[in-house]
């Protein structure tokens, strides 16, 4: 019980900062003897609490993003519903095989984000637009990318936060902290859909005691992660994202 709670705390903190907390809790449950399917479902249900606290902790950075999030939130919701549907009809290896490629692409976008933003700002100035202006075309690509990550997250939740930050970093003139706040909210929507889907389809296969321990740990971890994550410089936060992403990539490749 202590190990599961500690793993939940770590996952909640990492999810608030980066995403990929699943890569802590899932192996912990499997190592303690839980079947993989039970571990996956119990983990998804338990980590919703951490998503809530992480989002709340970053609420200040969400201010001023409403006009964009009113498009991104429905995209995440629709994508998560489709991902949960695919979960019932496709074998897990379909997504597992493409996860490393997606994660590498996301990490490249996270690292290249500042240069991409500088390039788009210069183009906007040459065209006589404000650097903060988001063109309809870029908004459409952003919504489509958010939907695609939602599908991925509804099916295979690991590392969806890194994918979201990568997509937004390539398209938005926002600081990494504000993008992280939006990521937490969008991931919360996806996690809720996945948890509801698991609960409805396989209520009896979920270990509710393990889910409750993860929920308690991740709730506290989300608050702690948000509190200290907001103090990190943009470079330190990007570095944290990359390091955690590389660790997750190694573990995914090692498992496969």
pLDDT at 185: 94
Structural domain total, the chain: 1
The full 3-state SS of the chain, as one line of letters, equals CHHHHHHHHHHHHHHHHCCCCHHHHHHHHHHCCCCHHHHHHHHHHHHHHHHHHHHHHCHHHHCCCHHHHHHHHHHHHHHHHHHHHHHCCCCCHHHHCCHHHHHHHHHHHHHHHHHHHHHHHHHHHHCCCCCCCCCHHHHHHHHHHHHHHHHHHHHCCCCHHHHHHHHHHHHCCCCHHHHHHHHHHHHHHHHHHHHHHHHHHCHHHCCHHHHHHHHHHHHHHHHHHHHHHCCCCHHHHHHHHHHHHHHHHHHHHHHC
Segment 10-35, tens digit of pLDDT: 989 988 887 778 878 888 888 888 88
pLDDT score, position 113 = 65
Handedness of CA 213, 214, 219, 223 (dihedral sign): positive
Mean pLDDT computed over 206-234: 91
Whether residue 156 is predicted with pLDDT greater than 90 in this model: the reply is: no
Compute, in degrees rounded to 10, the torsion defined by CA atoms 88, 93, 96, 97: -140
Residue 131 has pLDDT above 60, yes or no: no
Kindly state the average pLDDT of the residues 193-217. Answer: 90
Q: Which pLDDT value is given to residue 121?
A: 63
**pTM higher than the cut 0.85:** no
The percent of residues in the chain predicted with pLDDT above 90, rounded, is 30
* pLDDT interval class at 50 (50, 70, 90): very high
Mean pLDDT check: name the lowest of 3-17, 30-44, 72-86, 122-136.
Answer: 122-136
Instruction: Give residue 167's domain range.
Output: 1-255
- Residue 118 has a pLDDT of 74
Q: What is the pLDDT of residue 142?
A: 92
Question: What's the mean per-residue pLDDT of the chain?
Answer: 83
- State the average pLDDT over residues 176-194: 90
- CA distance linking residue 204 with residue 140, whole number of Å: 40
pLDDT level of residue 234 (50, 70, 90 thresholds): confident
Of 82-91, 116-125, 139-148, the poorest mean pLDDT is in: 116-125
Predicted pLDDT of residue 104: 79
Amino acid 53: pLDDT = 94
């Amino acid at each position: 019980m202590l190990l599961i709670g500690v793993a939940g705390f770590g996952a909640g903190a990492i999810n608030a900062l980066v995403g990929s907390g699943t890569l802590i809790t899932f192996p912990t449950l499997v190592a303690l003897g839980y079947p993989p399917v039970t571990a996956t479902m119990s983990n998804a249900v338990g980590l919703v609490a951490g998503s809530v606290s992480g989002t709340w902790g970053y609420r200040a950075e969400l201010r001023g993003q409403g006009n964009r999030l009113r498009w991104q939130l429905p995209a995440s919701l629709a994508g998560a519903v489709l991902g949960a549907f695919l979960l019932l009809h496709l074998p897990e290896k379909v997504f597992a095989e493409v996860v490393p490629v997606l994660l590498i692409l996301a990490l490249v976008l996270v690292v290249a984000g500042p240069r991409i933003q500088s390039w788009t700002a210069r183009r906007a100035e040459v065209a006589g637009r404000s650097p903060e202006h988001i063109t309809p075309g870029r908004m459409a690509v952003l919504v489509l990318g958010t939907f695609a990550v939602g599908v991925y997250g509804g099916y295979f939740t690991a590392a969806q936060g890194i994918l979201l930050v990568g997509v937004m970093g390539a398209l938005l003139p926002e600081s990494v902290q504000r993008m992280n706040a939006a990521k937490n909210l969008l991931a919360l929507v996806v996690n809720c859909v996945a948890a509801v889907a698991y609960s409805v389809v396989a209520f009896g296969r979920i270990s509710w005691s393990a889910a409750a321990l993860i929920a308690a740990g991740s709730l506290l971890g989300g608050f702690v992660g948000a509190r200290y994550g907001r103090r990190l410089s943009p470079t330190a936060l990007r570095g944290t994202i990359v390091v955690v992403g590389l660790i997750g990539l190694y573990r995914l490749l090692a498992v496969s």
